[in-house]
Amino acid sequence: MLVVTRKLDEAIVIGDGIEVRVLRIGRDSIRLGVTAQPNVPVHRAEIYEQIRRANAAAAADAGTLTALVTRLRDDAPEPPEE
Amino acid sequence: MSQPAHAVVEFREGLPGFEACRQFVILSGPAVEPFTIVQGLGPDAPAFAAIDPLRVVDGYRARLEPADLARLGAADATPLVFLALVSAQPSGRATVNLRAPLVINPETLRGIQLLGAESAHAVDHPLRAA
């Protein structure tokens, strides 16, 4: 792991044009500004991990999925009234 | 919709945990209604059952940032398709991930999984209220 010390309003640049800047330093947290192209997704690590686990729990192979859907159809909410 | 319908949607970032799989077939129709099948293409690709979050929670809304719209190739007014992934829990009950729905732009056939910083919704909302 690369470890860099940065002060308020200093930044690092990652690769081609991704900038991470220290915007504010608090007692328990710091505020970072990330500048990147729109096609570069930036996620909070704990949210990404939470969704990774949820996706793993939801994934099935095609065979079990058919059985799952058949079973769940009895359990599904009614369609909204028109 | 009474006819089976399918489309191949590109998720350029993949889904968390399944980053290598970028293309998913979206299948809907009377055989699976009210669910939609989200089937990844390629070896070891995952498949999911999904449902329109509005079928689970009245007035469901998810917040999209401008960067999300850019990744979808969508404008503010583009009608988008939302799909929440369904999990069968070991208890037999099913839950729905309303926290991070798939969002698809049917015009560009591009999709993302929405990982916003804040959401009022749970990753394990009951499919049906007890």
Per residue in B97-125, pLDDT tens?
Answer: 999 999 999 999 999 999 987 788 999 99
Sequence-separated (6 or more) residues with CB below 8 Å from residue B57: B98, B121, B125
Q: Which residues of B touch A46 (CB under 8 A)?
A: none
Q: What is the pLDDT of residue A80?
A: 62
Q: Give me the pLDDT at residue A63, please.
A: 74
Tally of domains within chain B: 1
Confidence of residue B67 (pLDDT cuts 50, 70, 90): confident
Q: What is the CATH number of the domain that holds B104?
A: 2.30.290.10
Domain hosting residue B44, numbered range: 5-126
Candidates A32, A46, A49, A55, partner chain B, best to mutate (most B CBs within 10 A): A55
Residues 6 or more apart in contact with residue A38 via CB below 8 angstroms: B66, B67, B70, B71
Tokens at residue A47, please? Answer: 């949210």
Q: Assess whether the previous peptide bond of B90 is cis (omega < 30° from 0).
A: no
- The closest CB to that of A38, out of B49, B54, B71, belongs to B71
Q: Which residue of B has its CA nearest to A51?
A: B16
The distance in angstroms from the start CA to the end CA of chain A is 57
Using CA of residue A43, residue A46, residue A50, residue A55, what is the dihedral sign? positive
Asked if B86's CB is within 8 angstroms of A72's CB, the reply is yes
CB atoms A59 and B48 under 8 Å: yes
Please tell me the predicted confidence (pLDDT) of residue B117: 78
Q: pTM value?
A: 0.87
Q: What is the pLDDT of residues A21-60, one digit of tens each?
A: 999 999 999 999 999 987 788 899 999 999 999 999 999 8
Of A38, A48, A69, the CB nearest to B49: A69
The per-residue pLDDT for B1 is: 44
